[in-house]
Amino acid sequence: MTNETSTAGLRNVVRIYRAVSGEVHALRGVDVDFPPGGITAIAGPSGGGKSTLLSILALRDRASAGTVTLFGTDVTEARDSTLKRLRRSSIAWVPQRPTHGLFPHLTAIENLYQTAQIRGRTGGLEPVAALDLLGLTHRADAPPSRLSGGEQQRLAVAAALTHAPDLVVADEPTAELDDGNAERVLQALTKVAAQGTTCVLSSHDPRALRRLPRVLHLRHGVLSAERSGSEPAEPRQADAVIDSAGRIQLSPEALKLFPARRARMQIVDGQVVLKAPEENPC
């Protein structure tokens, strides 16, 4: 069952895309909860399923199988009208290409006021405060086309955090930023999380992965490990994730110890021990 206190929960979520070459399994049974006011980074190699997971969480895509719960409600098979309402009022989406989430004909500050009007919420960051928090006050009157790529990225984050909704989902929000502006984004996310907003982002950025309190590793469409961002990024230090089917994914470092892709499992003094099976004698 999904944790009743979580903002969002995925249970055995599978996502299959059909391509000319056959089926592509982007997610292979993901189990995860995102608690209110938490910040979670999804890390892992390109093609591992990070963007797919975020798209399902932000209700921009549907799972092929499994259960998706948001704000205490099962939305797996919800009507499109219900999903649209949730996207408008309760979920902020920061795309990897920030211009996809901005109004090109409006100035930076007008973008934030327009977002606030659509969202229809009160409390939290006002547009002017959000612009200042992301270091864009001096660019308030510039449209997105006159902003640099990094400024566009920060504006997209500012829009997401204006009167911050219950859930903010961001795809690589610090990827193109220098150290100072990456820190601005992370501080802004931390600020709204402290006020109760749940933040989930994908990232390859070691600055974000070191800084954030919870990092999930997604590989081949399966959650393989969870660790605190303050811990060393050494795979052996991470907590392995066991899904609802009892499956566990070994880290690349551990997998090297099992070249035959077979393991002998023993329970010794209440601990599970995996060993590579001995080769059969000639």
How confident is the model over 41-69, as a mean pLDDT? 95
Within a 10 A sphere around the Cβ of 101, how many other Cβ atoms?
Answer: 22
- The pTM of this model reads 0.82
Give the tokens for residue 110: 């007008």
Classify the phi-psi angles of 72: left when phi > 0, otherwise alpha if psi is within -120 to 50, otherwise beta: left
SS3 160: helix
Structural contact between residues 62 and 236, judged by C-beta atoms closer than 8 angstroms: no
Rg of the chain on CA atoms, in Å = 21
pLDDT surpassing 80 at residue 262? no
How confident is the model over 186-203, as a mean pLDDT? 96
Side chain identity, residue 196: G
Side chain identity, residue 99: T
Within a 10 A sphere around the Cβ of 116, how many other Cβ atoms?
Answer: 19
Task: Write down the mean pLDDT value for the chain.
Answer: 87
pLDDT of residue 244: 57
Give the tokens for residue 156: 């997209």
Structural contact between residues 227 and 235, judged by C-beta atoms closer than 8 angstroms: no
CATH number of 8-245: 3.40.50.300
| Helical H segments across the chain, by residue range | 50-57, 80-89, 108-119, 127-133, 149-161, 179-194, 206-211, 252-255
How confident is the model over 213-240, as a mean pLDDT? 73
With tokens 């327009």, the residue in question is 114
Q: Which element (helix H / strand E) includes 33?
A: strand 22-34
The Cα 34–Cα 16 span in angstroms is 23
Residue 141, φ and ψ in degrees, nearest 5: -95, 10
Q: Burial letters for 36-52: b for 16+ Cβ neighbours within 10 Å, e otherwise?
A: eebbbbbbbeeebbbbb
pLDDT surpassing 80 at residue 266? no
The Cα 12–Cα 46 span in angstroms is 21
Residue 133, φ and ψ in degrees, nearest 5: -60, -35
Residue 265, φ and ψ in degrees, nearest 5: -105, 135
Q: Kindly report which listed range (138-152, 206-220, 254-268) carries the lowest average pLDDT score.
A: 254-268
Structural contact between residues 25 and 13, judged by C-beta atoms closer than 8 angstroms: no
How confident is the model over 206-231, as a mean pLDDT? 86
Give the tokens for residue 282: 């000639």
pLDDT of residue 140: 98
